[in-house]
Amino acid sequence: MTHLLYIIFSNRISGLLLLVFATAMGIATFIENDYGTETAKALIYNAKWFEILILFLGINFLGNIAKYNLFSWDKAPVFLFHIAFIIIILGAGITKYRGQEALMTIKENESSNRMISIDSYLQLTASNGAITQSFLSTPLLMSELGFNHINETFDLDKKQIKIELKKYIPRAQYRLKDTTKGKTYLHIVIADDDQRRDFFIKRGTRETIYGIPIAFDASGKSKKDIFITEKNNEWLASFPKETDYFSMLLNKASSYPKDSLVPIQFKALSTINNTPIVFKEITENKYLEIISTEKNPSEKNPESAIILTIRSGEENKEITLFGGRGYMNPFSTTFINDLHISLRYGSKPIQLPFSLYLKDFTLERYPGSDSPSAFYSDLQIQEKNKLSNYTIFMNNVLDYRGYRFFQSAYLPDESGTILSVNNDYWGTLVTYIGYGLLGLGMLLSLIWKSSHFGFLLKTLK
């Protein structure tokens, strides 16, 4: 046993662990540059093997303190080096398991107390009619290089729901391909925060898009559905309530009557459930596929997709979810084993214990150029009867109640700000203590009598 401990805490093992750690960090840098932060986190930074490596490093440093009796006064600088690394590793662990990273978007003259997580989750709500329950997976980190895994099990009233990953598609996008014996699809366009989103509903199916139930020539139509069908070579639509539209082809406004089959107006804009929606076209003999588009350096956080297999009882279904880091798309719904299941892939909402009000957002540009040189957010912290004013800009961070707010970006129309939020008081504090001890150890190693530098100073006198 003693011989084994001697090997574990030997200088060779210490050197090997440090070499593997440094190599992994170097590889992670290249992966992050070529494939993005999420891939680097999935394969290295947040991988179990990397956590075990860091744990072994901490144990090795701790063992070497005892092995070489570093508690003595003469060896204080070396002791500080070892204890500093152990404290830094402890701080990193607190950050990983207790810290929060999020984004917060606020428009001018508006307040918000909601932010969204940086990490992605599989969010599920299941109902059997009598009981409704929500579930949240562990954080999902998906890698463009593969090795992805989702295997979640949820229970609702003695019914088990198993979800497994079938495929992950980065930079995902729907595409229709021509084929001789294809399907018929309804193409729908929705505007979401000034971003265009395309959806395709296959004939004979029913989908809920942004909370809008649409049955495309499907059986079992509900009273709340927008029902679209074909009669006498003409496409007709029935709406559950009177719905206004503006036809871009005819340049006129009109409305669909309630519960009446009338000709559908393609490329006409309607607002349903506060969502702008356009029924663009119906195409036949098509094959719908999801492709991974080419990388675009100007697109910082492209949407990805996951294809999941859902099993419950003797039934199984396949569902595709678009989303990822920073996305909070509407839930997609499906029915299986007499359960109504709603699913979403992406960030989760996080409530702040106070609100931030954006009084003014200022964007400055270089003279004679459209390139931004700086941007500022004039904020007011609102909490009960307490109001505080603060301006955030580059290198000027707002610290409040353990939260740190950084100026990150701004909305495309310059109407508001996007803040990065970090809630990791204890992890940051412990890590900084470790850095402080590391710096102190470096300083003492230069002046300590028993150190190599101290010996050189004695010989020079």
pLDDT of residue 2: 62
Q: 256 with 392, same domain? A: no
Neighbours of 391 (CB within 10 A): 14
Global pTM reads: 0.83
Q: 13 with 127, same domain? A: no
Could you say which of 321, 348, 375 is where a domain stops? 348
Q: 330 with 262, same domain? A: yes
pLDDT of residue 15: 86
Distance CA 127, CA 457 (A): 76
- Show pLDDT as tens, one digit a residue, over the chain (461 residues): 566 666 777 778 888 999 999 999 999 999 999 888 899 999 999 999 999 999 999 988 888 888 878 888 888 888 898 899 999 999 999 998 899 999 999 999 999 999 999 999 999 999 998 999 999 999 999 999 989 999 999 999 989 999 999 999 999 999 999 988 899 999 999 987 667 889 999 999 988 888 899 999 998 778 889 999 999 999 999 999 999 999 888 888 999 999 999 999 999 999 998 899 999 999 999 999 999 999 888 777 889 999 999 999 999 999 999 999 889 888 988 899 999 999 999 999 999 999 999 999 999 888 888 888 888 999 999 988 788 899 998 889 999 998 999 998 888 788 899 999 999 999 999 999 999 999 998 888 877 776 655 555 455 45
Q: 93 with 111, same domain? A: no
pLDDT of residue 453: 54
Q: 306 with 413, same domain? A: no
Q: 363 with 382, same domain? A: yes
Q: 58 with 207, same domain? A: no
pLDDT of residue 77: 84
pLDDT of residue 304: 95
Residue 283: which of 270, 271, 266 has the closest Cα? 266
Structure tokens at 432: 């900084």
Q: 303 with 393, same domain? A: no
Which residues, in sequence order, are bridge partners of residue 379? Answer: 358, 390
Task: List Cα–Cα distances, 207 to 152, 304, 337, 421, 453, in angstroms.
Answer: 24, 20, 18, 35, 73
pLDDT of residue 452: 57
Could you say which of 348, 376, 394 is where a domain stops? 348
Distance CA 113, CA 383 (A): 10
Q: 74 with 9, same domain? A: yes
pLDDT of residue 89: 93
Could you say which of 348, 372, 387 is where a domain stops? 348
Q: 416 with 431, same domain? A: no
Total domains in the chain come to 3
pLDDT of residue 451: 60
pLDDT of residue 344: 95
The one-character DSSP state at 44 is: I
Q: 208 with 305, same domain? A: yes
Domain range holding 32? 2-99+425-460
Q: 411 with 430, same domain? A: no
pLDDT of residue 370: 80
Distance CA 91, CA 426 (A): 8
Neighbours of 287 (CB within 10 A): 13
Task: List Cα–Cα distances, 161 to 135, 168, 284, 329, in angstroms.
Answer: 11, 20, 35, 22
